[in-house]
Amino acid sequence: MSGEGQSVSFRRTSQTKESNDELLWKFQNLVYSSNKIMSHMKWYGKEYSVQLIEHGDEELQKWQQEDVAIKDSFQFYISVYESWGDDSNYYECHKTEGSFVSVAQKFALDYNLMYFPFGFPSEWIEQEIIDGEKNWNHFKVKADDKNIDRICDVWYNYSIIRISEDTDKHWNETKEQIKNLMNKEKCAITQ
């Protein structure tokens, strides 16, 4: 049976004391003690069933490196069977006690981490009409942006509001805040 993966994203703060390896060990213990998470999770042994994907690991695939491109960022990743969709609340719902994401959110609070339930701010496309022509603007946040810490703060605040209010209504305001902070590298594509 094939499957998919689930991941949760974090960024270290100045108050984070434990190393990434220590954090992995603690998170593994939480995951392995959760019947909900383990119910559809693939088991590769205690050492490998929860994987640490961290910034700076050059052995990762390029797409994986992009997911943790920001300094001090990392993810925990698990493989799950296709059947996880039968109990998707066990993996994707912050309101379900003991779910993968609710465990991750509490873990972040306990260990002074920033928790990014939707990954890190990366890129988006916006449509704009100029002189009657459709233009597509591609915005991409660079990991080495001079304001990356402030961008992460804005994204973190948006993400936490989004999961607590279960709405996406603050997205446009958040995009504008990020655009005002980021080094502009906009590509206009006309159609």
Domains located in the chain, CATH noted: 3-116 (3.30.70), 123-190 (no CATH)
8 A C-beta contact, residue 53 and residue 75:
yes
Nearest 5°: the CA angle 94, 154, 77 is 45
pTM as predicted? 0.84
pLDDT tens digits for range 33-55: 999 999 999 999 999 999 999 98
pLDDT of residue 50: 96
Whether pLDDT at 10 is above 90: yes
8 A C-beta contact, residue 141 and residue 182:
yes
pLDDT tens digits for range 76-93: 999 999 999 899 999 999
Taking the C-alpha atoms of residue 155 and residue 167, their distance in angstroms, rounded to an integer, is 15
pLDDT of residue 37: 96
pLDDT of residue 186: 46
Selection from 119, 137, 120 nearest residue 128 by Cα: 137
pLDDT tens digits for range 144-171: 889 999 999 999 999 999 888 877 788 8
**Six-digit token string for 88:** 């998707």
What mean pLDDT is predicted for residues 98-127?
91
Nearest 5°: the CA angle 90, 2, 35 is 25
pLDDT tens digits for range 118-143: 888 777 888 888 888 888 988 888 88
**Six-digit token string for 76:** 């925990």
Whether pLDDT at 189 is above 50: no
8 A C-beta contact, residue 104 and residue 41:
no
